[in-house]
Amino acid sequence: MYKAAKPVDILLGTGNIAKQAMLAGLVEGLPLNPVSPQDIGLDSNPDETAPSHEEVARDKAAQWSLDSGLLTIASDGGLVIPSLGSKWESLFTHRFAGPSATDNNRADELLKLMSPYENEARSASWVEALAIADKGQVLKSWSLEGATGLIADQTRGNLTDRGFWVFSMWYFPKYQRTYDDLTESERLDLNDHWLQLKNLVREYFTIES
């Protein structure tokens, strides 16, 4: 357990604004003050070549904490699509279409990959790993898989500024909505990965009276 006598700064270990909001939500209500890299003028580029999401998250948290000198929370996640087999690797969800691809390019490429598949063969889940580090040392990490939905057969217009591109394609028939339009209660019902992680983070940071 990590204990703090008073609120302390915690770095949100990512330059992505949408991801920063997700990480900040994990520590909401705790004696922690979320700080973004932009707040402190930090521009780090942690290595992301480890063979698992948890190892990547641990490397990110360790490097961001070392570079900033702050307690840090960082994550790494990806889409799991069983039907695609060796054609898809969750670790490369953001990079599979090439380093210069836009969100719309990525969506178009995924739709092409999924075109031969129908119904349950379009099933996809999400794996997310999270790590907490301080002074370059990892204090705690987790990796878990959340809800299972379907890859939609089309996108909803331009994906720019909608957060993470694939959440606008990850469809849940039960609610007839994609992930980014689900309510918190719906995500809770679906065993959402972020809500699971929030509970784990709150448990970890519980301070004994």
Helices (H), the chain: 17-26, 53-68, 103-114, 184-189, 193-204
| 59 band by pLDDT with thresholds 50, 70 and 90 | very high
Average model confidence (pLDDT) for the chain?
Answer: 91
**In CATH, what class is 8-204?**
alpha beta
CB-hemisphere CA count at 13 Å for 18?
9
Q: Do 129 and 56 meet the contact criterion of CB atoms below 8 Å apart?
A: yes
Q: Do 170 and 152 meet the contact criterion of CB atoms below 8 Å apart?
A: yes
What residues does each domain of the chain span? 8-204
Residue 17 has a CB neighbour count (10 Å cut-off) of 12
Task: Please state the pTM of the whole predicted model.
Answer: 0.90
pLDDT at 83: 97
Q: Do 60 and 46 meet the contact criterion of CB atoms below 8 Å apart?
A: yes
Give me the percent of the chain exceeding a pLDDT of 70.
Answer: 92
Of the listed ranges 26-30, 59-63, 161-165, the least confidently predicted one is 161-165
Checking if the pLDDT of 111 tops 80, the result is yes
Contacts of 167 (CB under 8 A, 6+ apart): 178, 179, 180
Distance CA 194, CA 50 (A): 22
Q: What angle do CA 102, 99, 145 make, to 5 degrees?
A: 80
pLDDT top residue among 171 and 7: 171
